[in-house]
């Protein structure tokens, strides 16, 4: 994995449906990263169609896990994402948690705003960012907006849009094994050759370190689609939902190194 | 228009169907930029389904317009776009001209290759890049791969993919008035808020200077969709080909400043 320019924050895409009740392995790790009782975690719940519920759930669990301070920035309209108050709150955060829902809804509210710029700058300066489901997808620069299930790629099975660009070289997908999304990730990489596809399973997270190293935590698999050796890419030759040929993509599947320990 | 980091080359997206027979106003300007009899122009014809014809047409016209040296880099397979010989040719070029066809075909061949990197580096170092039709679209980072005609936006009327990223803040469309593409450009901007949409008419070009200033040449209009004041973006709420609401986008239409002079 290439090191991004001068990033100092840790990025933690979560594949959705992470444990919020029992050991809360993934969320606990995020609270630790952010400073435990010194943490200030900002929840962004606005991908959700029920953002106040989402905010309440995560505020409660982060408090229970020992975070010092938790606040919510819900974006009802783009004017809020350009407001000085929201930017100021981000300046004070040690971590941002982006909830699930519809990643395109959140980007429609946040794309090109001062808040998006500030989040990026703070991440580069060392603030950590976790996101689950839609909140994981949105970390990409070339983001999967939505798509169809299935194992084989077809040209229109995925719709791309702009994400926040925290991980400009990665296309991050979620609920990966559970929703049978290999086809859409292969299609996304074929539409964006040179980028790396990342499929994160439910209750699983990838920790992407400032030096570019990656570590899996949680109970599922992270699937990596590496386009480095791509030899043939027929994505342009297919129409609509026809399948196409793509040759030379490499696939790696990664398990949590601490799976046994964390299951105790 | 924001200045891109340290770009020194001029970028010239052309809306397709540029005059190649009479005054050749646009192509003549490109030859001048590249150094006239000292120019070395490299033609990349590989978006085309008849690349050898495309290469022959542009080699002939650039020679006729006084370019000192013209060569062609046709990419039949991705291995060529990773070859030292192709990179070396780019190192010696003063300008690159990207022909029309299917922008997704060209990105499937070139995306993520050493040649794409080298083209970007040379452009930053002062090599000029012109492209017509597909060759204009591909300058975007978030590229319109294909789409439907129509004046009103609808969610799935446009498919996005990665382009070369020479103009990372712009989404460039072409044959704009002639093929009724306002709807797909509005949709592309709604899917990528924060970026600026550029619709270039046929036989028309936009010259984007290293300082970010822009000038229109040729016989049509350049339409700019400015997302700066976007207030509401309902792109996530539509399904398939349903229309959606987007409020606060500004539109500017630009004519050539030298239209009369060049028409003589």
User: Which of the residue ranges A52-66, A240-254, B108-122 would you say has the lowest mean pLDDT?
Assistant: A240-254
Given pLDDT bands bounded at 50, 70 and 90, which one contains residue A247? very high
Cβ separation of A112 and B230 shorter than 8 Å?
yes
Q: Name B156's Cβ contacts closer than 8 Å, sequence gap at least 6.
A: A156, A159, B240, B241
Q: Does B122 touch chain A (CB under 8 A)?
A: no
Backbone phi and psi for residue A44, each to the nearest 5 degrees, phi listed first:
-110, 105
- The whole-angstrom separation of Cα A192 and Cα A172 is 13
Residue of B nearest to A161 (CA): B191
Given pLDDT bands bounded at 50, 70 and 90, which one contains residue A5? low
- Point out which residues pair with B220 in neighbouring strands: none
Among residues A218, A254, A231, the alpha carbon closest in space to that of A14 is found at A218
Q: Which helix (H) or strand (E) holds A25?
A: helix A25-34
Cβ separation of B156 and A159 shorter than 8 Å?
yes
**Tokens 């030292």 — which residue?**
B84
**What does the pLDDT read at residue B5?**
60
Catalytic residue among B25, B40, B142, B175: B175
Question: How much of chain A is helix, strand and coil, in % rounded to 5?
Answer: 30, 30, 40
Catalytic residue among B4, B18, B59, B202: B202
Chain B partners of A108 at a C-beta cutoff of 8 Å? 190, 193, 233-236
pLDDT tens digits, A168-183:
999 999 999 999 999 9
The structure's pTM equals 0.91
- The whole-angstrom separation of Cα B230 and Cα B168 is 19
Q: Does A119 touch chain B (CB under 8 A)?
A: no
- Point out which residues pair with B233 in neighbouring strands: B246
Residue of B nearest to A81 (CA): B231
ipTM above 0.90, yes or no: no
Given pLDDT bands bounded at 50, 70 and 90, which one contains residue A258? low
pLDDT tens digits, A185-211:
999 999 999 999 999 999 999 999 999
Among residues B213, B56, B217, the alpha carbon closest in space to that of B130 is found at B217
Bridge pairing between strands B221-226 and B196-200: antiparallel
Cβ separation of B104 and A191 shorter than 8 Å?
yes
Cβ atoms A206, A12 nearer than 8 A: yes
What residue ranges of chain B have pLDDT lower than 50?
Answer: 1-4, 259-264
Among residues A179, A129, A119, A157, the alpha carbon closest in space to that of A13 is found at A129
Give mean pLDDT, residues A220-237: 94
Among residues B9, B39, B30, the alpha carbon closest in space to that of B164 is found at B9
Give catalytic status of residue B177 as yes or no.
Answer: no
**What does the pLDDT read at residue A6?**
82
**What does the pLDDT read at residue A155?**
85
Over pLDDT 90: what percentage of chain A? Answer: 90
Cβ separation of A191 and B162 shorter than 8 Å?
yes
Whether residue A153 is predicted with pLDDT greater than 60 in this model: the reply is yes
**Tokens 């819900």 — which residue?**
A74
Chain B partners of A170 at a C-beta cutoff of 8 Å? none
Counting Cβ atoms within 10 Å, is residue A167 exposed (0-12), middle (13-18) or buried (19+)?
Answer: buried
- Concatenated DSSP letters of chain B: -PPPTT--S-EEEE-S---SSS--HHHHHHHHHHTGGG-EEEEE-TTSSSHHHHHHHHHHHHHHTT-SEEEE---SSTTGGG-HHHHHHHHH-SEEEE--S-HHHHHHHHTTSHHHHHHHHHHHTT-EEEEETHHHHTTBSEEEEEE---SS-BTTSEEEEE---SBTTEEEE-STTTTT-HHHHHHHHHHSBTBEEEEE-TTEEEEE-TTS-EEEEESSEEEEEE-TT--EE-GGG--TT-B--EE--EEEEEE-TTHHHHH-
**What does the pLDDT read at residue A241?**
84
- B193, B239, B247: best to mutate for the A interface, most A CBs within 10 A: B193
Q: Which helix (H) or strand (E) holds A89?
A: helix A84-92
Q: How many angstroms separate the most distant Cα atoms in chain A?
A: 55
pLDDT tens digits, A84-127:
999 999 999 999 999 999 999 999 999 999 999 999 999 999 99
3 state DSSP class of A10? coil
pLDDT tens digits, A63-86:
999 999 999 999 999 999 999 999
Cβ separation of A232 and B77 shorter than 8 Å?
yes
**What does the pLDDT read at residue B126?**
98
Given pLDDT bands bounded at 50, 70 and 90, which one contains residue A26? very high
β strands within chain A, DSSP E = 11-14, 40-44, 69-72, 95-98, 128-132, 142-147, 158-162, 170-173, 196-200, 204-208, 214-218, 221-226, 232-233, 246-247, 250-255
**What does the pLDDT read at residue B241?**
84
**Tokens 């699937």 — which residue?**
A223
Tokens representing residue B261 in the block: 């002079």
Over pLDDT 70: what percentage of chain A? Answer: 95
HEC-encoded secondary structure of B224-263: EEECCCCCEECHHHCCCCCECCEECCEEEEEECCCHHHHH
Bridge pairing between strands B214-218 and B246-247: unpaired
């Amino acid at each position: 994995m290439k090191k991004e320019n001068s990033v100092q924050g840790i990025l933690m895409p979560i594949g959705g449906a992470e444990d919020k009740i029992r050991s809360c392995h993934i969320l606990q790790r995020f609270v630790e990263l952010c400073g435990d009782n010194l943490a200030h975690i900002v929840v962004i719940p606005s991908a959700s169609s029920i953002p106040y519920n989402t905010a309440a759930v995560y505020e409660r669990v982060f408090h229970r896990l020992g975070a010092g301070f938790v606040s919510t920035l819900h974006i009802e309209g783009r004017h809020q994402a350009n407001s000085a108050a929201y930017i100021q709150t981000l300046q004070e955060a040690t971590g941002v948690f982006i909830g699930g829902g519809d990643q395109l809804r959140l980007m429609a509210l946040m794309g090109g705003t001062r808040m998006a710029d500030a989040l990026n700058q703070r991440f580069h300066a060392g603030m950590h960012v976790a996101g689950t489901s839609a909140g994981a997808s949105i970390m990409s620069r070339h983001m999967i907006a939505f798509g169809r299930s299935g194992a084989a790629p077809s040209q229109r099975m995925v719709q791309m849009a702009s994400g926040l660009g925290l991980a400009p070289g990665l296309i991050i997908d979620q609920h990966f094994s559970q929703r049978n999304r290999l086809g859409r990730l292969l299609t996304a990489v074929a539409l964006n050759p040179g980028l790396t596809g990342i499929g994160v399973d439910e209750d699983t997270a990838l920790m992407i370190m400032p030096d570019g190293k990656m570590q899996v935590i949680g109970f599922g698999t992270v699937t990596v689609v590496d386009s480095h050796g791509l030899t043939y890419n027929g994505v342009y030759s297919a129409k609509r939902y026809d399948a196409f040929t793509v040759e030379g993509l490499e696939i790696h599947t990664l398990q949590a190194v601490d799976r046994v320990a964390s299951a105790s």
